[in-house]
Structures are given as C-alpha cells and as structure tokens.
Structure 1
Amino acid sequence: MEDPSEIIRIPTPSKFDAFPYNVPYGIQSDLMAHLFAAIESRSLAIIESPTGTGKTLSLLTSSLTWLRENKTRSKHARLADLRQKITAESDESEPQWVIEQSLSRQQKALEAEENDFERRLDEARRKEEIIRRKQKGKVVKRARVERDDLAVNEDQYLPDDDRNVPEEDDNIFLENLTPEVREQLKQLKSHSTERSRTQPEDPIYFASRTHTQLSQTITELLKITGGSDTRSVSLGSRKNTCINEDLKERGGDLDEACRELNSREKGSRCPHLPSHDEESKLFDFRDHILASPKDIEDLVEIGKELKTCPYYGSLTLPYNLLLQKSAREALGISLEDHIVIIDEAHNLIDTVLSINSHVLSSRTLQLALAQLKAYHTKFKNRLSPRNALSIKRVVMFIAALDGFCKSMASDENESGSTPRKSDGAIAAGNPESSDTTMMTVGELVSRLNTRIDGLNLLEMVQYLRDSKLARKISGYCDDMLAQASKEPGKARDHKSGAAPPLHAVEAFLLVLTSPNHQGRVFVTVEGPFRGQDADRTRNAVTLKYQLLNPEDAFRDVIEEARSVILAGGTMSPMFDIQTQLFPNLPEDRIAMFTCGHVIPSSSLQTLVITHGPRKKELKFKFDNRGNNELTEELGLILANLVVLVPHGLVIFFPSHSFLQSALKIWEERGVMTRIRSKKNVFLEPADGSSVDGVLRDYSATIATKDRESQSRSPRGAVLMAVVSGRLSEGLNFSDDLARGVVVIGLPYANLGSRELKERMNFVRRKGSTGGKDAGMELYENICMKAVNQSIGRAIRHKNDWASLILIDQRYSTSRIQNKLPNWIRSEIIVAKTWGDGIRELGAFYRRKREEGALETQ
C-alpha cells in the first residue's frame, strides 16, 4: 500500500525562497532544482559543482526546502488518515458535527505536542543568550578540532591506570556497564524515541570528510532564510567532544578510556555524565543542541557551561561510521527513509574500501591470546557454561590463527636468512626485508588447523559484540598491570586508554565471514622481529584483509535511505563511481548533475605544455623519471614559469621521490638558484609533520609581496607539493596564493602493488566497460581523480582567477581530457611547442593586468 504522504507529489519549485541572496547563479538554481527532484523521486544523485559556486549553500537550501514541504504534506496526510479512521470507527447514524469535533480534538492534541516542543527550544535559546552574556568580555580560546585518528598504535597496548581494584570488586569485568548507566542510557534512548514520534520528520544526514568542513556547513546553514530555526546536530566523536580534561591528558585511546571510566560504580565515573536521578540535565542539553545550529566547538562550550557530556548528550558519531552498517546498528542510527548527503564525496570509494579492510599483526594476536587466557583462568569458575564454552571457542580460533602466523614465519626462516622480496610487497615495515603471500578468505581458513572445524565464525562475532568481551578482558588486564606497577622495583611502562587487542581480532574475524570474491588476505612476513620478545630471530607477520568490492558495503545505505546525494567539486570521472558503488542500480534511479563555474571564461586558463625549451617531448612516465636530461628540461620550464606567474605558484609533482631526485639535479645544475632569485621556495614535508608551518610561512610570504616588490627581494613564492599529499586535498589556495597551479606528469599508482593488481583483476572479472579494459580504466581513473583534486585547489570563488598548467604530452589526448571536470576542459589549450605555451601564458597575465586584476610588478 502506498504511503499516504507520497500520494500527493511535490512539484519542484521554480524559485527557492530560502536562498539567502536575491538572485542565485543559474547553476545554483539548476543544482537546487535537480537535488529537490532527486529527493522527491527517491533517486541517487551524483552532483559535481566546482568549489566557489556555492555548492554547500545550494545543497542545504534545496534539501531543507524539500524537508519543509514534506512536513506540510505529511501533516495533511496524517489529518486525512485521522479523518478516515474516525469516520470508519463512527456509527453511521452519528452526526457529522460529532466527527468533526473528534477530528478537531485530535488535531489540537498534535498541535499541543508541537507547541510544547517549540516552547522547550525557546527556553533553551533564552538560556543560551544568558550564557553568551556571561561569557562576553572573557577571552575564550576555542579548542582546535582535528580529524579523527583511526589508526591503532600497537605500542600502547598496555594502558596505565591508578586504580587498585580489590578482589571483591572485580565483578565489574564481568559486566558491560553499571546497571545505573545502562538504565540511564536506555531511558535516554526511550525519551528520544518518544520525542521523535511527536515530531514525524525525515532527518537529513549531511556528512563531510572533516570536522572543519562540517563547521563551515553550519556557517552556510545560518545564512539560509529560517536556517537558524533548523534543528540540527553536528556529528563528532569522543575525541572532539570530550570535556573531561583529566581523561584527555592521559593520552591513548580516548574511546576506550571513556568506556572504561563509565563502567565504574557511582561516584567514580565521569563527573560530566549525569547520574540516573539527574537525567533531566541530558534532556536540557538536548534542547540546547536543537535550539539553533551549532558546530562541534559550540557543543563543547555548551557542555562545559552545563557540565554535561556533549558526546552522550548529542549521541554523535564519526563521519566514517555513517557508512558502516554494524556501527550504525550498535549506535541505534537508522537511515530508513532518511536523506543522506555526502559532501566531498570524491574519496567515497576509497573510504568504503578502507573502513571495510582490516590489519592484524602477529604481535596483537599474541597479546589478545595471552589476555584471553589470563581472563579465563581468573573467572572460569564464575562464568556461565554458555560463556565458558564461547570463550573456549574464541581461544581455539585465535590459537589456530597464531599457529598459522608462526608457520608462515618459520617457513620464511627456513628459506634463508634474508626473506625473499615479492612483487609489490605491502609490508608495513622495510619492503626490502618482507615477503607477501596473497590468498582468499577460504584459503586462509583452510590453512588453519582442524581444531576449528565446525566453529561458526558468525556466532563467535555476535558473541564478542554482545558480551563486550574485548573491553572486559582489557580492563581486567590493565588493572592487574596497574597493581603490579605499584610494587617495588616494578616499572610503569604502560599507558591508559589503548584499544583492546581483542578488538582487532574481532574485526578481522568478521571479515573472514566474507565471500571469497569480495576481498583478499595479504600475509606479509617481515623479519626479523625487533621488539621486546626474547626470541629476536622470529619473523613478524601481518595479516591484512583488503576489500575489493565496495558495492556490497554501500548497498545497504542505498537500500535504507530515501535518497542518497553524492556531491563534490571534482567528482570526475563520474562513471567510475557508478560502476564501482552501484552498478546494478536502475538508470532511472540515478540522477547525474555537473555544471560549469561561476567565473567568466576569461578568469581561467587551462594550458597543456607538451614540449620544453629544448624541444624535448615531455612524457614523465615512471621509466623516464631517471632521465636527467628530461628532468633538467623540466627545471628550465619551472624557471621560466616563476618569472611569468605572479605572486603564488603551486607545483604538484607525481611523487615525493621524484620531487627529491629533481631537486638534487636542479641544485647541481644551478636551476634552483634561478628559481630562488625570483620567488621564495617552500617544500611539502615528506612526513606531513610540519605542513601547517610550511603553509603559514608560504602564506605570509605571499601577503608581504607589496613590500618585497619595492626591493630586490624575491616576489611571491613557489610551493612544491605532491599529488595525493597533504597539500593536494581540502586546502584553499585562493586569490594570490595560487595564480598558477602546475601538475607535472600523470601520477599513476605503482602497478607492482599486489592490492592494486587484485582490484584491477576484480573489476575485469565483473565485466568490461564498453569494450575497454576495465582494470586499466580503474587504474587511469584513480590517477585522474588525484589530478582533479590537485587542480581544484585554485579558483575558490567567483572573483578568483588562475592558470592551470598541465605538463605532459599525454594531457593533449582526448582520453585523458575527457576525465577532467567539464569546467576545466571546456576551453583547454594545447601548446604544440614551448614557444606557443609561453605566448599563451604571457597573454593571459597581460590581460589580467589590463583588466586591473593584477598590479604591475
């Protein structure tokens, strides 16, 4: 039966009144209409709109307009349904006025619920105003919000803890949370559910890659007409919302430290999580969240003022968990019939593959096994028969997996003192001393000993999830180590809050339930192991499950949500997203939209340089990167560009190794001296540790260009970066920071990588793409996505302008050009000779000077 609220179709508006400016650009109107229609028709939309075109503002305006129209439609549908129900239940002889009176009474009850909710929000807004007045005049330093770091540091596996848990209190390691906390969170969820029943709306999940981008989204939301009244919640993790300073100072895994702290009895738990009899504090905090749009930093400030935990108060989650079904189920997040908008979705395929791939080291495996055995020895007489049997099965499985790792390490030892190097080894350590074996999940399971025959892996995963065994075991072992460290002569070398080793085993166990065709297991042997083990000659083993097919992992998002919107500034090549994430979705459910830029064509130059000053053809293939003559030719090109390009010039190299080898040659042959005589030179650090400092110094140099132009100092600066490096994504090189962006060569990935080869083989097995080699298409698309992201660092608003310079003959081919965004390739210029390129570039900057966009230097 069709949903009553869907019987009446909402027409796409010809004008979006919520848009904050009088006349939107044509491409903004088109985008908003396209998105509105996609949501109404329950479609999946792929939207490419360049940075600087108001993409986020358009996405928010259109989706909120639909939300408000749908709320009105739903209200009419509920009243119609109510009238039908009252009429059906009424006696035929009952007068019409009686039916109308019953309907009016029900309608007033619904309105009273809505009014009560709005009253609470108004009260929260008044309290916020008092808080703001209190804080006026204070200097409040807002905590810097960083991206979630999901990496597991295995060197922090032994947490630090000051507690000395008496024998009679160790039952806490048999429980998940205290009864009080469990009941409190249960009531909180129940309260939330009841409230949602009285506010029947279709929530919008607006996700982006970083918390900084989400903060910018809140800024855009507040611009929209009625945006300040929108009930919104910023999604964030414990790392970004915790207000317990003592807990944060301990270091380690904050998630685990928080869970461990709140597993204690009343009086020793986190003081910011209200007790059962103070649950109104959490509900009050909830009302503050919904009173007006807030970013994560606002939530933290309100939490500190109200002394209430922002994490539990907002029930927030990290962005990447939105894409994990198991995580959504654990947190009670439902996408059913909701709208999911994923901004900056150009990396969506990589994100889906990454969060569904897992690494397990032999060291972590051995730690998990040791902790599990210690726990079982301590509590075996207090465990129920079912729990005891389940733990025994987990021990059997881990022991079998550990035995497999030892056999792989032993085989490597027997093959010689130096392990052989395989093609494209993926070891985490030194690739010159590692070997990688690839196998399917079925092949790995068959290599485990016969003791695990008959074990149901899915049941084991479910048991580990339901029992929270990993945290119980880790908590018990941490306490034992903490007690031992207080004994005389015992060193305290363990840190608090580390992720339990059994968590990594649990995640790996889950992927072993995957079908063979979905992924591959890479077994890497590194040797010899150089840890604290007594057996220093033992090789270390790393097991990595690499998901090959992102389709199944993303399917549940598409099937659950009403509409999914994938948006970004550089989504090209868009066909790649469709073929990898939803190849079987009917064409009539896919709505693609791509638009040009808001800048005039005179503000952008896309120039392909195919030959250098000495007439050498420019092809920076991997085999040519050791060609010193070609590298010197490139240096001469850049030495000319720093003269022509004013202010800031950003140059992207295909790799760090190529950048370093080129710098060495240019230093020897005097090219760098010529470049430095015109501009200050900045380099992207290889380890990313000082990127912020490099950016700060580069920006400061550009900002002081006027003073420098009066002397003989270099004018402006050049920033040498790497495609797919820290400087190629998410950064804003607007205006004078990048009057020119150069991309050298095509940054193809290493074809020797076993993982990449398997991904290519996988897409080949799935089928061809119009007669093309599907594997090579994937290979090329990965490269071009990285190029498009680098190019997108320039042209950040309607008045910006720059020249995009692509140095490689291959950019002159239609095959490569067709994978550039439309707004970049529409007027591309291919210079057949070096002289042609210089003339085109000089003419572009001359026109800018004539227009007054560039002062004479």
Structure 2
Amino acid sequence: MQKSEINSPERDFHHPYTPYGIQVDFMNALSDTIEEGKIGIFESPTGKGKSLSLICGAMTWLRDHQSLSQLNLYQDADQDDSEPTWVREYHMNMLKEKHLRKYQQLEARIQRVRALEQREKASVQSKKWLGLSDEIRGYSKRVRGADKDDDETSKFVVEDWDSDTEDSTSKDDTNVEGNSNISSEVQGLLKKLTRQTGGRDDEEEDEDGFDDEVKIFYASRTHSQLSQFVQQLRLPRFPPSELYQSESNLRHVPLSSRKQLCIHPTVSRLRDLNAINDKCTELQQNPVDRRCPYMMNEREIDDRVKSRDFRDRVLSDIRDIEEMGEIGKSMSVCPYYASRGAVQMCEVVTLPYPLLLQSSYRKALSISLKNQIIIIDEAHNLLDAITSLFSMAISYSDIVRSKSCVETYLAKFSKRLNGGNKVYVSQIIRLLNVLERFLVGFQGSNGAEVLQNDVLLKDGVDTINVYKIDKYLEKSKLARKVESYATYVVESATTNEKENKTKKTRPIASVPVLSKIMSFLMALTNPSNEGKVFFEQANGDRHLKYLLLDPSFHFRSIVEEARCVILAGGTMEPVGDYMRYLFPYVPIERIRIFSCDHVIPNENLGAWTIATGPTGIDLTFTFDRQRIDMIGQELGRTIANLMFVVPDGMVVFFPSYKYMDEVCLCWKKKLPNASTTIWDQITKRKTIFQEPRDSAKVDSILSSYTQTLSDTSADQQPGKAKGAILLAVVGGKMSEGINFSDSLARGIVMVGLPFPNAKSAEMIARRRYVERMAYDETKEREYALLGAQYPDETAIPPSNIVAIEDSCRQAAEGASREYYENVCMRAVNQSIGRGIRHAKDYTVILFVDSRFGNATIQNKLPKWIRDRMTSGPTADTTIGGVLRNVREFFKTK
C-alpha cells in the first residue's frame, strides 16, 4: 500500500482550471495506478473537484496510451522472422494504415453530424416531433386493432419446448442470420469465414478492432450522480492522440436500463423494471406489423444505416441519459439497443451500479471488462450495494399465490403445451409444494438460521435441476405469462360484460412472483459460506431471507478481468473493510490507498467533542430507556446554547428517526420550575425543520430551510429567529447527495454513534462471518509459524495449541468489534461530509457523545477532519469549553 505522497514528474492533465497541488497529486496517483494495473482506493473530500480529477487523470493516461499501444501493436504483430525486412515493414505499415483508417472514418462521420446539428433549428425539430407523434399514434391504433382480432388467451401460451435438447423453438432464439436450425457456434464460424473471404460491406469494416480498445467505465449509484458527472465531462479538452485526431472532446456513451431509455409510448409508462423488460421482449416476438417500431432489424440495410446514424449522433457530443432518449425519439430508434453499437467505439462509458456489478446485465449489454479501466464513484456505498443486489426474500403468501397461479395456468393450457413444457411446469409446482410445506412446518424462532440443504434436499427435490428450471423460465418467459394470465382471470371475474368493453387491461407493474422465488432458489445453490438463510415471521406472514455475506465473490470477476479498479469517494474511511471483505484475495502490494487533505485552510474547519452538557450530565447516547428524558433534555440545552455562537444554519444528525422523534418530544415538554420548553428556547433563535420519513416531502423541507436562511440577516428585528436548524437522520434522505454549503451548515452536529441493531439476525450473521474469517486466518498463520519447528503437526505441544486457540478467539472478537464500529463510522463520515463544499467554505463539526473522545473512534474519521480535531487528554470536552472555542472560531469569519 502507498499513502498520498506522490513524487511523479510534472504532467499536463489538461485540467480546465488551475488545479490545486492536492488535485495534481490525486491525478498523478490515479494515472500511476492505471499504468501499473493496480487497485486504487481514493479518498478526496467533496468540494475539491474529485470528478474532474478522475476525468483528467484517467483520460490523460488513456490518450497517451492510445499512441503507445499502437506502437506495441505494430511491433508485436504476427510475423515470420525468416521473411525479408521489407516484407515485415510493409505488413506493419498496412496494419497501421488500416487501424488509422477506421478512426478517420469514424471521426469524419462524427464531424458531419456535428455540422448538421449546428445547422438544425428549433422549428425543424418541432416538425420532426409532430411527425413522430403521428407515427406513434398510428402504431398504437394498429396494435389495438390487432389485439381485438387475436384469441384473448393465445398470447399467454408459451412456445413449444424440447426438453431433450434444452432448447425451444421460440422466435427470440432465432440467431442473427435468421436460421434457427444452425447452432450459434456454426453461425460464428460462418460469419468469420464470410469476413475472411470479403463477403461484407465497407460500412462494417470500420467497426473491427474497437472492442479491444481500452475504455473507462465510470459507475455511480444514482442517475442524478451520473448526470452531474456528465456535466463535468464537458469541461476539459484533451489533445488528440496518434489515432484519434479530433481536437474536440472525448467520445462518451451513457448506458442505462430500459426504464430510463425506453421510448415506446406504452412500455415506458410501466412502473417496474421487470415488467418493462418482459413487455419489451414480448413486443420483439410479435408479428412484424405489431413489433416495437423503434427496434432496428440489423438484417435490413435501412435499419443498419439508421442504427449507425444514431451511434454517430451519440458520439458527436457528450450526452446524458435524457438526451439519448430525445435522440432516439427524433430518429425513431430505440436508444436502449442502439447505444450498444456506440460502446465499442467510445472512450468513456457511464453506467449505474447494477449494470456494472451484475454479470447478467453486462452480458445483456454485450459489455466486456477485459483490460478495461473501472472507476466506481461514491464507493463508500459499494459493500452495501453488492450485498443488497444479491440478497433477497420470499414469503409464504408469495409461494401460495405463485403455486395457485401456475396450477391455474396448467389447468387452462395443458392441452396446448407440448411435453417439454409440461415436464418443467410440473417440476416448478413440485418445488413450490416443497417450499410451502417447509415454511408451514418450520419450528424455529424468529430470526433463526435455516440450513440451505434443509430447503433444497426435501422430498426428492434434489432430483430436480434448478439450473435447468432457471434457464427454462428465462427462455420461455413463463413467469410473466403466468402472471399476466392470473391478472386477466381476476379482472375477467370482477368486471361485468359492459365494463369489459371499455376497461383497459391493467399493466402488470411488479416482479412476477415466480421469478422472485426462482431467484431465491438460485441463491440457495451458492456455497453456504457466501450467504445465510433466515426464517422471519412478521405482519402475519412467514418469510425466508437470503443474506449475502461475502461481497468479494460477486466482485471478483470484475477485479480479475479489468486492467485496474478505482474506488473513489469523499469519505472512504475506514478503508480496512474494503481490503478485508472486497479484496481478500488480492496481494497487498497491488493495492494503493490515496487520501488527500481538504482544499480549505486549517482555520476554516473546527472539530470538537462535547462529552458533558450544561448541567454536567454525561452525554453518552447508549440505548437506555430510563435515561431518554434526562439525556434528551440535556441534549436540548446543549443545542440551545450552541444557537448563540453558531450563525445561520445548523444541521443536527440523529442515529434514527425514532430517536429523533423521542428527543423532540422531550424538548416540547415543559420542565419543572421553567416558564418555557427547550423547543421554545431553540425556536427563539432558529426556526426548526425536521427531515420527513416520506421521500416526496424532502424537497419541500429543504426548500423551506434554504428560503428561511436566505431571508434572515444580521439586521433583523429584535425577537426574530437568526437562522434555522435542520434535524436529520444518519443514513436518511439528507445524509447523502445533498450539499449543505455556506450558510446552510455553519455547524454540523453528530448526536451519538449510530450503531446498527446488534441483535438483528442480519448483523449477528455478518459478525459471525467476520469472526469465522478472522479465526481461520489467524489459525492458518499461527500453525504456519510453528510448521518449521514442528513439521509433524501431531507433535505440537498442547500448550501451544491452547495458545493458538486463545489467539484465534481474540482475533475473532477483535475483528467482529471492528466491523461493527466500521459500519457505524462509515455512516457518520458520510453525514458529516455534507458540509464544507468549496475552498472558501467554513464550518464547525461537533461530536456530541463522550465516546468520540476515544482514539479508536477518532482514527476512523476522515484524515482531513482528524487532523483538525482538538483531542487528547488536555482537550476541553465540556459544553463551556467548546462554546468558547466555537465563539473564537466564528469571530474571524
């Protein structure tokens, strides 16, 4: 591992502004990490241009590499050493010219598109939109008319399935050449032979070779974060490489799911991603006159040209997801499918976490990560994101409903299903019966662990190949057809004949329950040390929950394929968890840790611990029901005192919504011998706002909070509030992705340590997993040390064995405790990072809990806060001492 000191020679990273020294260090470290093919964990406080540093560092390396890599290509081309020198030189020059020609052709087309876009006027675009609307309306009428002519239930029947060959005659299995009787392997050989013999058009030639180009794949958690990154992509200008001669900006493609990119007027209105995916697939299988009008048929010359025009239009400028949809609508091309053609020719791909982390999505999008640069931003979310993506749950009611739907489906269509379909449908019903009986008969307590084999090996289910069942459901689309038919039956039974003539079928907007159950069963086939299954009884229902414990398993393929992987975030501490639970198999020398200071001067940030309140009560927010009133009131008095020295806005983070509500009730109680409540005392100085539980109300609260602060000023009338206070929740809606800059957060207060529930089944399972890892690693290391002294393991003295067992237990306990603390401190760090958003900003961070005085806890804070924190035995952690420090801090501002 290497820390943040970088001594690379000065480079020009083409930063659009004059970069700070720490930004140059960041870009140097990033470029070196890519060059050396390492894994990088980069921490850069928000407000110092992390996104631009990532762009400039990675793109500068990529443009330099585009020149160097070609030299290597020509030198390493397959040659016969016995050939004359002039023959080898001629061969290399020919390769070089061919390689350059494809870039020149691409650039020429992109330049034509740019010139065309500059000439287009708004009126022309309006005419295109009007014409498109007419086309959509005509298509909708054709679909509605065709639906009336169809048998009402024929659309629910799956295609014939051959259970012997594990293949079906479904239309979507027809290969690209249109011959479903020839295997994909033979098709590939035929296609290769066709190319070798010149049987192709000139337009295809320029597409060869791009797949091997190194690209940057940038992933972030939300689409809003990706949109912000795209805005930053537009700022720098990079010089052309030997291959890419354009003086214009980089080539970029944004990828997303159908939910964001579908432009079909009916499908895009569906609420659920799975419903959109299945409806899209269904439209592709329809007869030609009823297929999606935006889907291009690559066997048609006109459609191929249209797809390439879309690709060139996308590459002609830096686009975001919304612009991709607009281009697709204006050209009547599906942006979801057409964007794939642009990926192989671009330099930067932006995409949300799921598209990168799930191999099924990568396969669907034809994305190869081999030798690519992977940058994952906001990576403090990564461990939780992987765990969430691959954890799942099913309930008894899910199973009963699914079984009823499948049985009803089989009874209706039994005579119309061939033998292959019947075999698989019958096996599915058997699986559902076994799951139902298991949940009914399970005697464990709430939160009890369930052995995976106890579920999979019941009643002869082990003879059923769940992998084949999963493949069958994927190819046949049975789950969606069963769900659709069930909805049709319910609506038919509850609607009279007159209503049926006018009522439209309600769109299915949820994941088919059969798909949900199958995903759970597939998770059970994972090795038992990768995840655990739990029983839970809640809301009158019984549940089985699969919890992923080993995120490294699903991330390993990315690490092993990619050239390098960069995890970047504003607060990455504590970094130890990434090393232990994401890269346990990676040699430590292949990991670079880079953490840089903040751009603000030291005097612009103050950080103090408040351990005792105004009446001397110890401020330690442990779970104690008897102290809630007492410590809640002491916290209120502490906040009321801070109101006098912290100007403008203050954001106070609580461990949970429940605790925030309880504290607010304490503040509103009238104290003995007091003429007013603590709540009233605070509101005299600052208007109070509370984070809502309802996400839809967040923007309104933030807007009111911001407006209140913009309306307040130093010359207000006496008696009016001088600012505002926002009560928020760690891990809530305001603890991430929201910038509290300048007057919005002159003070950030962290109340307590937000430890997760230690008694929850999930946390118990995670800590046991951590303990087992630490125990096994320590045992292996200790016995390896004794190996030289005792080659025969049976000769090891009992006292040594006892000592090893003690060491293993201590290591397990320590690892469990540290993991628990790290989960807490990641949440703390993310919340307190909401303030200080630019170089001239200033604020104070106040940790209201005596435990923040512990060195163990402080060492898990970001370095830029830790270095500015007043700590140690001489630090004054009383409210009086902190008030004096805060008052002095703001005197100079």
TM-score relative to the length of structure 1: 0.84
* Residue from 4, 16, 21 that aligns with 1:20: 16
SS at match of 1:709: coil
CA contact (8 A) 1:164 1:482 kept: no
The one-letter amino acid of 2:430's match is M
Corresponding residue for residue 820 of structure 2: 779
Corresponding residue for residue 549 of structure 2: 548
CA contact (8 A) 2:449 2:533 kept: yes
Corresponding residue for residue 392 of structure 1: 426
Corresponding pairs, count: 774
Q: 2 CA distance for matches of 1:745 and 1:554? A: 33
Query: Structure 1 residues 348, 244: closer, same or farther in 2, change over 3 A?
Result: same
SS at match of 2:471: helix
Corresponding residue for residue 788 of structure 2: none
Q: 1 CA distance for matches of 2:359 and 2:323? A: 29
The one-letter amino acid of 2:847's match is L
Query: Structure 1 residues 183, 782: closer, same or farther in 2, change over 3 A?
Result: farther
- What is the Cα deviation at residue 713 of structure 1? 2.5
Corresponding residue for residue 685 of structure 1: 692
Q: 1 CA distance for matches of 2:66 and 2:858? A: 44
Query: Structure 1 residues 104, 832: closer, same or farther in 2, change over 3 A?
Result: closer
SS at match of 1:511: helix
Q: 2 CA distance for matches of 1:284 and 1:43? A: 38
Q: 2 CA distance for matches of 1:194 and 1:375? A: 50
Q: 2 CA distance for matches of 1:339 and 1:516? A: 32
**1:306 and 2:370 correspond:** no
Corresponding residue for residue 263 of structure 1: 285
Corresponding residue for residue 862 of structure 2: 821
Corresponding residue for residue 350 of structure 1: 384
- What is the Cα deviation at residue 385 of structure 1? 4.0
* Residue from 753, 765, 790 that aligns with 2:831: 790
CA contact (8 A) 1:647 1:717 kept: yes
Corresponding residue for residue 722 of structure 2: 715
SS at match of 1:304: helix
Q: 2 CA distance for matches of 1:168 and 1:845? A: 73
Deviation larger for 584-593 or 126-135? 126-135
CA contact (8 A) 2:736 2:830 kept: yes
Q: 1 CA distance for matches of 2:108 and 2:489? A: 52
Corresponding residue for residue 154 of structure 1: none
- What is the Cα deviation at residue 382 of structure 1? 5.2
Where do 1:484-523 residues align within 5 Å?
488=497, 494-523=506-535
Q: 2 CA distance for matches of 1:505 and 1:183? A: 35
The one-letter amino acid of 1:397's match is L
* Residue from 751, 764, 772 that aligns with 1:765: 772
**1:470 and 2:482 correspond:** no
Query: Structure 1 residues 118, 200: closer, same or farther in 2, change over 3 A?
Result: farther
Deviation larger for 190-199 or 676-685? 190-199
Q: 2 CA distance for matches of 1:167 and 1:489? A: 17
Q: 2 CA distance for matches of 1:749 and 1:192? A: 56
Q: CA RMSD in A?
A: 3.2
CA contact (8 A) 2:13 2:57 kept: no
SS at match of 2:463: coil
- What is the Cα deviation at residue 659 of structure 1? 1.0
Corresponding residue for residue 205 of structure 1: 217
CA contact (8 A) 1:625 1:658 kept: no
Corresponding residue for residue 596 of structure 2: 595
Corresponding residue for residue 34 of structure 1: 29
CA contact (8 A) 1:207 1:341 kept: yes
Query: Structure 1 residues 269, 497: closer, same or farther in 2, change over 3 A?
Result: farther
CA contact (8 A) 1:260 1:475 kept: no
The one-letter amino acid of 1:238's match is R
CA contact (8 A) 1:323 1:352 kept: yes
* Residue from 719, 736, 745 that aligns with 1:738: 745
Query: Structure 1 residues 543, 179: closer, same or farther in 2, change over 3 A?
Result: closer
Q: 2 CA distance for matches of 1:503 and 1:630? A: 49
* Residue from 103, 107, 111 that aligns with 1:118: 107
Corresponding residue for residue 887 of structure 2: 842
- What is the Cα deviation at residue 362 of structure 1? 2.3
The one-letter amino acid of 2:26's match is L
Q: 1 CA distance for matches of 2:125 and 2:686? A: 44
Q: Over residues 619-657 of structure 1, what are the superposed CA-to-partner deviations in whole Å (9 max), with x where a residue is unaligned?
A: 011126743222111101111112211111100011111
- What is the Cα deviation at residue 799 of structure 1? 1.2
CA contact (8 A) 1:173 1:472 kept: yes
CA contact (8 A) 1:441 1:514 kept: no
TM-score relative to the length of structure 2: 0.81
SS at match of 2:738: coil
Q: Over residues 43-76 of structure 1, what are the superposed CA-to-partner deviations in whole Å (9 max), with x where a residue is unaligned?
A: 1110111001111111111111111122112211
Corresponding residue for residue 127 of structure 1: 116
CA contact (8 A) 1:164 1:483 kept: no
Query: Structure 1 residues 748, 97: closer, same or farther in 2, change over 3 A?
Result: closer
Query: Structure 1 residues 628, 184: closer, same or farther in 2, change over 3 A?
Result: farther
* Residue from 158, 163, 169 that aligns with 1:173: 158
Query: Structure 1 residues 546, 700: closer, same or farther in 2, change over 3 A?
Result: same
Q: 2 CA distance for matches of 1:135 and 1:214? A: 30
Q: 1 CA distance for matches of 2:209 and 2:415? A: 46
SS at match of 1:335: coil
Corresponding residue for residue 450 of structure 2: 439
Corresponding residue for residue 367 of structure 2: 333
**1:233 and 2:233 correspond:** no
Corresponding residue for residue 699 of structure 1: 706
Corresponding residue for residue 96 of structure 2: 107
Q: 2 CA distance for matches of 1:711 and 1:272? A: 65
Query: Structure 1 residues 192, 550: closer, same or farther in 2, change over 3 A?
Result: farther
The one-letter amino acid of 1:291's match is S
Corresponding residue for residue 635 of structure 1: 636
CA contact (8 A) 1:18 1:225 kept: yes
CA contact (8 A) 2:537 2:543 kept: yes
Corresponding residue for residue 459 of structure 1: 468
* Residue from 246, 261, 264 that aligns with 1:244: 264
Q: 1 CA distance for matches of 2:589 and 2:602? A: 33
**1:69 and 2:64 correspond:** yes
CA contact (8 A) 2:102 2:205 kept: no
Corresponding residue for residue 534 of structure 1: none
- What is the Cα deviation at residue 300 of structure 1? 1.9
SS at match of 1:828: coil
Structure 1 alignment gaps of length 5 or more: 1-10, 141-160, 413-421, 423-434, 529-539, 849-857
**1:272 and 2:297 correspond:** no
Q: 1 CA distance for matches of 2:26 and 2:259? A: 35
- What is the Cα deviation at residue 279 of structure 1? 3.5
Q: Over residues 139-193 of structure 1, what are the superposed CA-to-partner deviations in whole Å (9 max), with x where a residue is unaligned?
A: x9xxxxxxxxxxxxxxxxxxxx976741795487327655789779999999999
Q: Over residues 190-216 of structure 1, what are the superposed CA-to-partner deviations in whole Å (9 max), with x where a residue is unaligned?
A: 999972524641121100111111111
CA contact (8 A) 2:102 2:207 kept: no
**1:673 and 2:684 correspond:** no
CA contact (8 A) 1:682 1:719 kept: yes
Structure 2 alignment gaps of length 5 or more: 1-6, 130-145, 160-168, 193-202, 240-247, 341-349, 671-676, 779-809
Q: 1 CA distance for matches of 2:513 and 2:304? A: 34
Query: Structure 1 residues 502, 24: closer, same or farther in 2, change over 3 A?
Result: same
The one-letter amino acid of 2:94's match is R
- What is the Cα deviation at residue 381 of structure 1? 4.8
Q: 1 CA distance for matches of 2:549 and 2:86? A: 65
The one-letter amino acid of 1:522's match is F
Q: 2 CA distance for matches of 1:229 and 1:607? A: 46
- What is the Cα deviation at residue 665 of structure 1? 1.4
- What is the Cα deviation at residue 107 of structure 1? 2.7
Q: 2 CA distance for matches of 1:363 and 1:67? A: 53
The one-letter amino acid of 2:758's match is L
- What is the Cα deviation at residue 322 of structure 1? 1.1
CA contact (8 A) 1:178 1:264 kept: no
